[in-house]
Structure 1
Amino acid sequence: MENNTNILIVDDEKAIVSMLELMLKKEGFQHIYKAYTGTEALQILQAHQIEIIILDVMLPDGSGFDFCPKIRDMSNAYILFLTAKVSDLDVLTGFATGGDDYVTKPFNPLEVAARIKAYLRRNNTAASSILERPNYYDFGRFIVDEQAGTLTVDGKPIPCPTQVYLLLVYFCKRPNIVFSKSDLLEAVWGFDHYVDDNTVSVHIRRIRERIEKDPSNPVYLQTVRGLGYKLVKG
């Protein structure tokens, strides 16, 4: 069955790009864009609405980590890093710069397809949930309109990547309840063997950067020492 999702593959190794394109088309994804440099990727993003980006870390004109914030300025697409770097610092750097997930090289292309399909399932489920149960969460300084899929802070719309938004919505639905990192991984990501609890820490920070006046001294999204996190609503 054909899938209309627009996917951008960014990698300077043409063999990898061709392999991923072939695999994705076999899996039903027919709208594939290709870039071999970060600069080409930015040009494609300016011209097309891209929902998923497969982004190599090592590019001829810079690091994927360097290009990711530029991509985030233009798009809230789901970003899946391809990386030969596997240290905790590299993984955290990927999330901190705006990535949503990563696969380490060498990789099975079917794993990439599985990650993409898992993301689309979660995203479609969230969209269906929004349509079925429209909710509006007003925390004073910030408002989350789940039906519109928006975050407003001090009256201004704030861009929010998909996984960050889904995590924030999860908290909004359950104010003043403490959740452990493992609770959040299972509930929001749904496949905790693909990510570790550092993922939660990075995404918590990204939420705080959007909703808190001082992200280092949060008022709303608080850490409960030894237990986890809670979103406070008075």
Structure 2
Amino acid sequence: MQETILLVEDDTQINEMVESHLKREGYTVFTAFDGQAALDLFAQENVDLIILDLMLPAFNGLDIVQLIRRESMLPILIMSAKDSDVDKALGLGFGADDYIGKPFSLIELTARVKAALRRSKQYSQQHEEKEHVVSVRDLSINLNSFSVSKKGEPINLTVKEFQILSLLATSPNQVFTKGQLFESVWKEAYYGDDNVINVHIRRLREKIEDDASAPMYIKTIWGIGYKMEMHT
């Protein structure tokens, strides 16, 4: 079965160029030119990945990411001319899985799409055989259903947030460097850019900690990295 991509881009020329290229690569592609159309298609179609521009009519890209993350952990690739570190951090922090800045090559875009879909598929296959729940004090992490709850209340995490949390929780009190976290979760070489890891850890803490400024679960080991604290 062909994998399905939702392409959200208001520039007609870019939209048509990317759509044609992805179809030649063997993907089924649905296209939207504004935020509302994107949300409508997401609700109607079974989508495996979303490619999303930030600057859109109706709803902007970050609004869309937040709305989709309430329902789904499918991979989201932001594609935008807003290519500063601040915009990357904001986009990734809101729940996107990857970011590609305009202008971009279609070869690079295809590589990122394939990598995102491969990671998503592999991660699902690893945990579909049996249910595995890890408990850390008030947190319950289901590695099979990719769900997290705290004191019985569900917590909505992005794919990357869940992968970071499950990696730390399944290796309690082990210290992971930022490079180890990045290479374990993103399956790519780490070149010393801490920004992506810092943003994901911050957003993860905001969701699981009682007080993100005084974390009890994910502890910072200054100058090294992070670990899951198993005891208060």
TM-score, normalised with respect to structure 2: 0.91
Give the stretch that moved more between structures: 186-195 or 97-106: 186-195
Is the CA contact (8 Å cut-off) linking 1:19 and 1:109 kept in structure 2?
Answer: no
Question: Which residue of structure 2 lines up, in the alignment, with residue 135 of structure 1?
Answer: 132
- Does 2:41 correspond to 1:44? yes
Is the CA contact (8 Å cut-off) linking 2:65 and 2:96 kept in structure 1?
Answer: yes
Give the stretch that moved more between structures: 66-75 or 210-219: 66-75
The one-letter code matched in structure 2 to 1:12 is D
From 7, 19, 24, give the equivalent of 1:9: 7
The one-letter code matched in structure 1 to 2:4 is N
Is the CA contact (8 Å cut-off) linking 2:83 and 2:102 kept in structure 1?
Answer: no
From 203, 212, 216, give the equivalent of 1:219: 216
- The SS at the match of 2:126 is helix
The one-letter code matched in structure 2 to 1:227 is I
From 157, 160, 169, give the equivalent of 2:157: 160
Question: Which residue of structure 1 lines up, in the alignment, with residue 54 of structure 2?
Answer: 57
Number of paired residues?
A: 231
- Does 2:194 correspond to 1:197? yes
Q: How far is the alpha carbon of 1:193 from its aligned partner? A: 5.7
* Distance change in 2, residues 1:201/1:158 (3 Å): same
From 155, 180, 183, give the equivalent of 2:180: 183
Question: Which residue of structure 2 lines up, in the alignment, with residue 209 of structure 1?
Answer: 206
Q: How far is the alpha carbon of 1:102 from its aligned partner? A: 0.7
Deviations 1:165-206 (A, max 9, x none): 111111122110111111111111111469932111111122
- The SS at the match of 1:39 is helix
5 Å-filtered alignment, 1:76-95, equals 76-95=73-92
From 201, 209, 230, give the equivalent of 2:227: 230
Is the CA contact (8 Å cut-off) linking 2:179 and 2:192 kept in structure 1?
Answer: no
CA RMSD of superposed structures (Å): 2.0
From 93, 98, 101, give the equivalent of 2:95: 98
TM-score, normalised with respect to structure 1: 0.90
Question: Which residue of structure 2 lines up, in the alignment, with residue 21 of structure 1?
Answer: 19
From 110, 113, 116, give the equivalent of 1:113: 110
Which whole-Å CA distance do the structure 1 matches of 2:216 and 2:225 have between them? 15
From 97, 119, 122, give the equivalent of 2:119: 122
- The SS at the match of 1:58 is coil
Is the CA contact (8 Å cut-off) linking 2:49 and 2:117 kept in structure 1?
Answer: no
Is the CA contact (8 Å cut-off) linking 1:186 and 1:192 kept in structure 2?
Answer: yes
The one-letter code matched in structure 2 to 1:111 is E
Q: How far is the alpha carbon of 1:63 from its aligned partner? A: 3.2
The one-letter code matched in structure 1 to 2:216 is V
* Distance change in 2, residues 1:67/1:153 (3 Å): same
Q: How far is the alpha carbon of 1:12 from its aligned partner? A: 0.7
Is the CA contact (8 Å cut-off) linking 1:153 and 1:210 kept in structure 2?
Answer: no
The one-letter code matched in structure 1 to 2:15 is V
Give the stretch that moved more between structures: 51-60 or 133-142: 133-142
From 30, 35, 45, give the equivalent of 1:33: 30
Which whole-Å CA distance do the structure 1 matches of 2:191 and 2:37 have between them? 29
From 72, 75, 83, give the equivalent of 1:75: 72
Is the CA contact (8 Å cut-off) linking 1:79 and 1:100 kept in structure 2?
Answer: yes
Q: How far is the alpha carbon of 1:146 from its aligned partner? A: 0.7
